[in-house]
């Protein structure tokens, strides 16, 4: 099973800040890494697929990068509505796995 | 617009079987383009993929894929006449208390999710 480790677990940030969340895989997964946003009391929402490909309807301030074992989700110009938990997910091999999550709090 | 809605008992006794249903609207579960999934989230925790089923409307058969950590206790199936997905999890314990989601998997990501249903395992 591929383990995904996110950092940080929690971050308190101010609006307009640039936020970076990292996800490290226990073995190479090429670009089979995807990012989700889960707002309080909501289901997860797919933000980025294949490490860096944007999803229709997702604000352009969200971007992703990386390949192999190290990946990054960046939010440029944080907005209050971005308060949520963010999860990475790998589809390289079964069982599909998720990172433990990063909770973003807006100051 | 595809919508998924989970339903089932919110309370299950230890050692019993958890059974949930997911009703899919806005799309056919037998279209063959997707994997219909169950994912759970323990309270305040991350996400765990339980498994999914790929159902082909051409062969009228489904192929299932399960998380090895749950495989001995899990069954995922579809009822195409009702456009529903089902989950059975046997011999439950308190560790199975979680919010259970059904979701559509279109590689590479889970693009549509239900709202989730909370299942508590307690006597």
- A-interface mutation test, from B110, B116, B117, most A Cβ less than 10 A away: B110
Contact A106, A66 (CB under 8 A): no
The CA angle A69-A73-A76, to the nearest 5 degrees, is 150
Nearest beta carbon to residue B67 from set A87, A95, A101:
A95
Taking an 8 Å cut-off on Cβ atoms, the answer to whether B46 and A87 are in contact is yes
Strand residues in chain A grouped as ranges (E): 4-7, 10-13, 18-25, 33-38, 45-49, 53-54, 62-67, 70-76, 84-90, 97-98, 102-106
What is the predicted pLDDT for the residue at A68?
Answer: 97
pLDDT tens figures, A23-60: 999 999 999 999 999 999 999 999 999 999 999 999 99
Name the minimum distance, in Å, from the CA of B49 to any CA of chain A: 6
Taking an 8 Å cut-off on Cβ atoms, the answer to whether B109 and A34 are in contact is yes
- B-interface mutation test, from A7, A43, A90, most B Cβ less than 10 A away: A43
Taking an 8 Å cut-off on Cβ atoms, the answer to whether A44 and B47 are in contact is yes
pLDDT tens figures, B16-41: 999 999 999 999 898 878 999 999 99
């Amino acid at each position: 099973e591929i383990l995904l480790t996110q950092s940080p677990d929690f971050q308190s940030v101010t609006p307009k800040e640039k936020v970076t969340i990292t996800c490290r895989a226990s073995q190479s997964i090429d670009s089979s890494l995807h990012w989700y946003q889960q707002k309080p009391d909501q289901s997860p929402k797919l933000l980025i697929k294949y490490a860096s490909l944007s999803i229709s309807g997702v604000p352009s301030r969200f971007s992703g990068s990386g390949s192999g074992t190290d990946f990054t989700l960046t939010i440029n110009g944080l907005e209050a509505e971005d308060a949520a938990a963010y999860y990475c997910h790998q589809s390289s091999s079964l069982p599909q796995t998720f990172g433990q999550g990063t909770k973003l709090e807006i100051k | 617009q595809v919508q998924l809605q989970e339903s089932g008992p919110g309370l299950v006794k230890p050692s019993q079987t958890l059974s949930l249903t997911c009703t899919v609207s806005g799309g056919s579960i037998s279209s063959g383009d997707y994997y219909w999934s169950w994912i759970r989230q323990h309270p305040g925790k991350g996400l765990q993929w339980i498994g999914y089923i790929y159902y082909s409307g051409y062969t009228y058969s489904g192929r299932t894929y399960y998380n090895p950590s749950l495989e001995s206790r899990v069954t995922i199936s579809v009822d195409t006449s009702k456009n529903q997905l089902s989950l059975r999890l046997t011999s439950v314990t308190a560790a199975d208390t979680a919010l259970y989601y059904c979701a559509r998997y279109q590689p590479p990501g889970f693009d549509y999710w239900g709202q989730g249903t909370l299942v508590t395992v307690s006597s």
